[in-house]
Structures are given as C-alpha cells and as structure tokens.
Structure 1
Amino acid sequence: MLHLIALDALRRLALISLLLIVSTTSWAETKTYTITAPDGVTIAVQESGAPDGQPVILIHGLLGSHLSWEAQVRSPALQGYRLITYDLRGHGVSGMPSSPEAYTDGRRWADDLAAVIAASNAHNPVLVGWSLGAAVITNYLAAYGDGRIAGALYVGGVIELQPDQIVAHPAVYHGLSSADLRTHLDAEREFLALCFQTQPDTVTFQRLLANAALASPTMQDAVPSMTIAVAEGLGATRKPMLLLYGTQDALVHPEPSIARAKALNSNIRSIMYSQSGHAPFLEEADRFNRDLSAFVDEVTQP
C-alpha cells in the first residue's frame, strides 16, 4: 500500500515537473522588450513564433493591446512566422502621454511603428493593422514609404475618420471621452461589444474589456482627431495591399472604405467575410489565419 502511495506521489511529481517544463518553454518562446519612440514614449513589444521566420507585425486597434492577437500568436498554423506585436501608445503596457498632441499627430504613431521595425530588425515585414492599426500603417507609409515592407493587410481598417466611412455611435464615443467613470466604463463595454457580430466567449470578452479599461482616457478623447495622411500613404504605395472586412461590421462601413481606398490606389484588393463584424481575425480566426498565411507567402515570394 505504501509502495502504491509512493508510486502515485512520484507520478504526480513527474507530472508537475513536466507541466513546469512546458510552462517554462512556452514562456521562453515569447520575447518581450521595450523601445523608446522619437518623442520619448515607451513602447512595449512582444515576439513569438519562429525567430528566423518571415516577420509579421500585428498592430491592434482602439482600446486593444497585443492580447487582441492571441488567436494568431497561439495558432499552430502561424508558428513558422516571426510574429511581432506591440502595444500602441496609450494602450496596454506602453507609455501613456498626457498631452493630446501625442495622439492627434498621426506622424507620432507612424514613428512608433518605424521604431518597432528598426529595433526588432524586422527585414521586409508584412504589416497587419486592425481598425485604428490600419491608420497607423497608412501614416507610416506616408512618412517612410514602402521600401522597408513586403506588403500590408488591413482588417476592419480605418481608411479615413470620415462620416461616410465610420458608423455613427455618438453616445458611445461621447461616453468614451466622459470624465464620469461609470459612463466611461459603460461606453468601453458597449464599444467592445460592437466589435463583434459573434460575441467571443465570456472569459475572452472579460479579458478584452479589462484590456480596454487600461487605455489612456486622454488618448480616447484625442484619437478621433488623429491625422491620417491617406493620399500620401495608401495612394503612393506600390507594395501589395489587401483589405479584409466583415460584412456585419458595426463600427466601420466596409463598402465606402474599400471604395475610397481603391479610388486612391487601384491595385488594392479586398475580401469580405460574411459571418464577421469588426473583428474577423477573432470571429473567423481559422479562416483569417489561412488568408493571412497565404497573403504573407504571396508577397514574400522571391
């Protein structure tokens, strides 16, 4: 009897040791570091996947963080790429400037992305921008050109902050800039719910909501006035660009956004997901991951 108890204890100890090894290995696979933007803002960067793989830089949207991309960084289908995420200024664990100009000046967001590319030594990366992240890429292209990237994929992308392209939710956006804490937090919850045609599971939604609550109030108030150099960015680039929208998007109007982008650059392609809202990379993650992989492979072929 004692022998059996001892054997069971050894088995439990072996299992615990194995779990610790797996946990340590998983942790080691994620590299985290910080960089400093030209205006002094600290930007938190994360890397996973294959260190020697094709770099893919994933840029989240308003009220998000690198955690927005968990369905990508945890996908076995994408582990052959070098997956680089970062928290936008005013989001996640990156710096949160107190000046509204730090957010309304689109060039500063572009400089952040340029700093991430340089510090990570990402050669010829593919840029992926969700919602506001797409506007960040546009400003990067306007400021730095497309010579250092292989291509760009916009997901539910903000082309311009214009009424014909952005769905009107005046109460929500007013609430996001409210100084009343209850009103502010309720608006963040409503905004997050609007991101999905198919709502995520409870744990994921709660995590993303807590993530939204971390975002700078100053940023939330200022970002609707962010400058986007769309003609100099989208209009001037000659690298492959793909726009991907959910037909049920409740935050960005897909058709006018695509039309505006293609009017600026006739080489831009587009895909629509009929079952998705504003977040196809979460709502139809497997399909999105396949399309992302195909796009990356296409634009990086020798």
Structure 2
Amino acid sequence: MSLSKLHSALGALIVALAVLAASPAAFAGTKDYTVTAPDGVVLAVQEAGDPDGAPIIFVHGLLGSRLNWTKQLHDPRFQHYRLITYDLRGHGRSGKPTEADSYTDGRRWADDLATIIESTHAHKPVLVGWSLGGAVISNYLAAYGDSGIAGAVYVDGVIELKPDQIVAHPEVYRDMIASDLKTHLDGERAFLRLCFYRQPDAATFSLLLANAALASWDMQRAVQSMTVDAAEGLGKADVPLLLIYGAQDALVKAKPSIARAKSLNPRIQSKLYAASGHAPFLEEPDRFNRDLSDFIRSAVSR
C-alpha cells in the first residue's frame, strides 16, 4: 500500500471512530466528562449502566481506549452496575504529556486511577485491568492500599516488565516507536495482531487500529520502562483478586505471570482460557463475562 493510501485509510478509521464515539445511538445512556490528575493530565471518563449500582472501573491496555470494553458495557449481566471507563494517559481522548517521566513513573498511573475513584465518588469499586491496566492496578495498590476497593481482576495483566514474564518482540516494539509513519503503523498493526489467538473481525480490528493511531508516540517510547511495584501492591492485598489469562497469549507469558503473582499473594485465584490469546474478553466474551459477573457478585457482597 502506498503511503498516500495508508494516510487515507487511517484518516477514514479515525473519522469512523469519532462518529462512533459521538453517536447517541452507539452509547445510549452514557455520560462523558473529564477529570484532572495531580500532575495536570486531563483524563477522559465515561459512565454507563445504573448510576446507583455498585461501581466497576475498567482499565484498558497499551494502545487501547475505553472503547475496548464494548462487549462488557453492552452485556445485560452488567447493566445493574455502574460502569466506569477511562482513557489512560497518552491514549484516546486523555491528555498526552511529552515528558518521559509522565509515563515511566508508575506512581503517575496509580494517581490517575485514584483520581478516577475519588472524582467519581465510586464506593468500593471492582477494578478490571487488561494488560498494562494490570500494572496500573498493582501500582495503585502499592500507593493507596486496598481499603478503597472491593476486588480486582487482572486480564492477561502485566505483573512485572521482566523477560521471564514478557514475550520478546524486539522488532515490533522497535517499529512501534519509529519516526517513519508507515513503519510506525505497521508496528502497531503487528502488535495488535499479536493480541489475538482468535483474530477479530475486520470492523473490530479497524477500531483497534484507530485506537492505536490515537496513542502518544512519547508514551509508547517511555512506557516500556514504566516502574511496576507488584511486590508491594499484590503482596499486601487482602481483597479478592482474580487473574484471567489466555493460554495462547503471545505478549505476556501466562503461566509464569500467574506463578509470580501467586508467589507474592497465595490467595490469588486464577483462570486459564486454553483457546484465547492476550484478549480473552474479546476472544471469548460470553465465557469471560460470565466469570467476571460471578467474581463481581462475590466481591461486592463481602
């Protein structure tokens, strides 16, 4: 594909994403607003479901946005909960600072999540974090403890950014931060393909690619060095914790990550989906939503 055609295709994807996000029919009954983190980064927030229900906060992964959680937000099993999503710093419609330490310092991401909880007045939310979102939750637990939440679910979550837990894809990560636009986009496309054992339909993949195109290049360069305090965060947590991983994950090593988490906290429960990759909530949404629903019901009733 020529560079001009690639630009046109990318433009069409971003327009489609903007139309979808703006369409009242697409997200009927939702509320959009922003909050500001302690370091001044503006975070885009969305709410759906029952505003009086028990709160669930969804934290997406690298190159994503709150739109990643559509199959959960639209599931009837969750409509009696207060469903809160937000775009991580450097992603989606949230602020995109240029300083590297805005992304390498794990405490910044923890403060963002704390700001969401405080600003939304979410009482004892259940946290659900995918991939990078798992690291955000660990850093939150390390900085703020678990007294303010009911429980947490890690979905193919990053426990630590260490070689024994992360699959090496040096060429992909190199291309993702390339200054050449085509190389950069090819790298992001390759990364997204690696997210799935069961590849998504064309419309879903196009939306994911549009999400990726909105992500900050500065963030992508710096986030690979993000600090993750899993030992402090997971190690001292007393609330229910569930790990759901795809056995075919090509980005995070599922069994070593689960083993490391359980070595830090033997009370952690885990589920391994044999036929899913890095995104079981999209690859096997019915099974995932059933397991998530069971966990939430148990956690909020404690």
- TM-score, normalised to structure 1, is 0.91
Amino acid at match of 2:145: G
Kindly indicate whether residue 103 of structure 2 is the aligned counterpart of residue 116 of structure 1: no
1:299 is matched with which residue?
Answer: 299
Q: Match for 2:275: what amino acid?
A: Q
Equivalent residue number for residue 279 of structure 2: 279
Shift of 1:224: 0.6
Specify the alignment match of 1:45 in structure 2: 45
Give 4+ residue runs of structure 1 displaced > 3 Å after superposition. 23-28
Separation in 2, partners of 1:207, 1:24: 18
For residue 229 of structure 1, what is the amino acid of its counterpart? D
Structure 2 unaligned regions, length at least 5: 1-22
1:54 deviates by 1.0
In structure 2, what is the Cα distance between the partners aligned to 1:25 and 1:271?
Answer: 35
In 1, Cα distance between equivalents of 2:189 and 2:295 = 33
Query: Letter of the aligned partner of 2:169 in structure 1?
Result: H
Tell me what 1:98 maps to. Answer: 98
Question: Which residue does the alignment assign to 1:176?
Answer: 176
State the match for 1:54 in structure 2: 54
AA at the equivalent of 2:252: V
Distance 1:272 1:119, change over 3 A: same
Give 1:5's aligned residue: none
Shift of 1:176: 1.2
Equivalent positions of 1:249-288 (< 5 A) are: 249-288=249-288
Q: Report deviation, 1:76.
A: 1.6
Could you tell me the percent identity over the aligned residues? 65
**CA distance in structure 1 between the partners assigned to 2:278 and 2:164 by the alignment:** 16
- Which structure 1 segments of 5+ residues have no match? 1-22
Equivalent AA in structure 1 for residue 178 of structure 2: S
Deviation of the 1:25 alpha carbon: 7.4
The amino acid that maps onto 1:192 is L
Instruction: Check if 1:219 corresponds to 2:238.
Output: no
2:81 is aligned to 81
SS at match of 2:235: coil
Please name the residue that 1:191 is paired with. Answer: 191
Provide the aligned C-alpha RMSD in A: 1.1
**Distance of 1:120 and 1:46 partners within structure 2:** 10
Counterpart Cα distance in 1 of 2:298 and 2:246: 22
Q: Structure 2-normalised TM-score?
A: 0.91
Cα deviations across residues 175-227 of structure 1 (Å, max 9, x unaligned)? 11111111110000000011011111101100110110100000000001000
Displacement of 1:24 in angstroms is 5.3
State the distance in 1 between where 2:241 and 2:77 align.
22
Using the TM superposition, give the Cα deviation of residue 27 of structure 1 relative to its aligned residue in structure 2, in angstroms.
4.7
Are positions 1:207 and 2:207 aligned together?
Answer: yes
Instruction: Give the equivalent residue in structure 2 for 1:242.
Output: 242
User: Counterpart of 1:141?
Assistant: 141
